[in-house]
Amino acid sequence: MPTPTDPPPPRLPASLEENRIASLPPRAYYIADFITEEEEQAILRKVETAPKARWRQLTHRRLQTWPSDLVKNALIDSQPLPDWLQQPVVSRLLSMPASAEEPNIFASSPHGRPNHCLVNEYPPSSGIMPHKDGNAYFPVVCTVSLGSSLCLNLYKSKDDGALDPEPMWRILQEPRSLLITAGDLYTDYLHGIDAISQDVNLSELTVANWNLLRSPSQFQGGENKRGTRISLTYRDVLKVSKLGSKLGPLFKWP
C-alpha cells in the first residue's frame, strides 16, 4: 500500500502510441520509467524472500513461475497472481490506453489482464536461447526489468525455417523499464538474450529503442557491463483449467 512518504508514481504516457518503438514491426513499446526505485527494491525483496522451492534452477539461470507452472499449456486455476506481482505493475499496465480503440493492451485478451508471471534471474554471462513463446499465451508480452540493463535480440526465421544467427534488432532494457511486444513481433519473430558479460556496440544505429532510453548517456561508450538482471514476464494464458480448485489445497504451491 502506498504511504504518504512514498515518492509519486512515474508519469505514464497518455497512450502507448507515444512510446512505440518505431523502427520495429508492429508492435513494441518501451517505457523507461515504469516503476520507481522504491517499487523496484520492494519487488526484488519479494523475489529474494520467496520460498526456496519456488526457484527452478537451470544451467545458467533460475526462474520462478507464478501462480504456478502450466500443465499441458493450461494454467491450473488455483490462485491469482500474488499481490506483489499485481501492484503496482498490473494495475499500472491496465491504466494505460494502447490506442484510441484499445483501453489497454490486454483489452481483447480472454481474461482482460495477465494471469501469469515468470520471474527470470540472469547473472552476468547468462542469457536465453532464441525462441518463440508459442500458442499457450495471448500474443502480448509485458516485461519489467529490475536490477541491471541488457539487450534483448530479435531474430527472423529464414524461409526454410532455420534461424538467421544475426539478430535483426536489439532492444536495450534498463532497470525499472517496461517492454511490451505484441502482434506480428510475437508470432513471426524470435527473441533471445546473448550469454555475455557486456553488451557492446550500443548506439543510436544499433539499438532500436535508443530514443526512448532513460539515460542513453550511460551507454555513450557503446558498452553495458551487465550486473544481475531480474525480469518479470507477464502474459495471459489462454486456457485456464478448473482442475486446481477441485484439487484444492493438495495443489497449492509453497
Ligand X SMILES: O=C(O)CCC(=O)C(=O)O
Is 148 an interacting residue with respect to ligand X (CB under 6 A)?
no
Is 102 an interacting residue with respect to Fe ion (CB under 5 A)?
no
Is 109 an interacting residue with respect to ligand X (CB under 6 A)?
no
- Tell me which of 118, 163, 238, 240 binds ligand X, using CB under 6 A: 118
CB of 191 to Fe ion, least distance (A): 6
CB of 244 to ligand X, least distance (A): 22
| Nearer to ligand X (CB atom), residue 143 or residue 148 | 143
- Tell me which of 42, 46, 107, 133 binds Fe ion, using CB under 5 A: 133
What's the per-residue H, E or C state across the chain? CCCCCCCCCCCCCCCHHHHECCCCCCCEEEECCCCCHHHHHHHHHHHHCCCHHHEEECCCCEEEEECCCEECCEEECCCCCCHHHHCCHHHHHHCCCCCCCCCCCCCCCCCCCCCEEEEEEECCCCCEEEECCCCCECCEEEEEEECCCEEEEEEEECCCCCECCCCCEEEEECCCCEEEEECHHHHHEEEEECCCCEECCCCCCCCCCHHHCCCHHHHCCCCEECCCEEEEEEECECEEECHHHHHHHHHCCC
Is 170 an interacting residue with respect to ligand X (CB under 6 A)?
no
Q: Which of Fe ion, ligand X, none does residue 120 bind to, with CB < 5 to 8 Å depending on kind?
A: ligand X
Number of residues that bind ligand X (CB under 6 A): 9
Q: Which of Fe ion, ligand X, none does residue 118 bind to, with CB < 5 to 8 Å depending on kind?
A: ligand X
Is 78 an interacting residue with respect to ligand X (CB under 6 A)?
no
CB of 131 to Fe ion, least distance (A): 6
Q: List residues near ligand X by CB under 6 A.
A: 118, 120, 128, 133, 143, 152, 191, 231, 233
Q: List residues near Fe ion by CB under 5 A.
A: 133
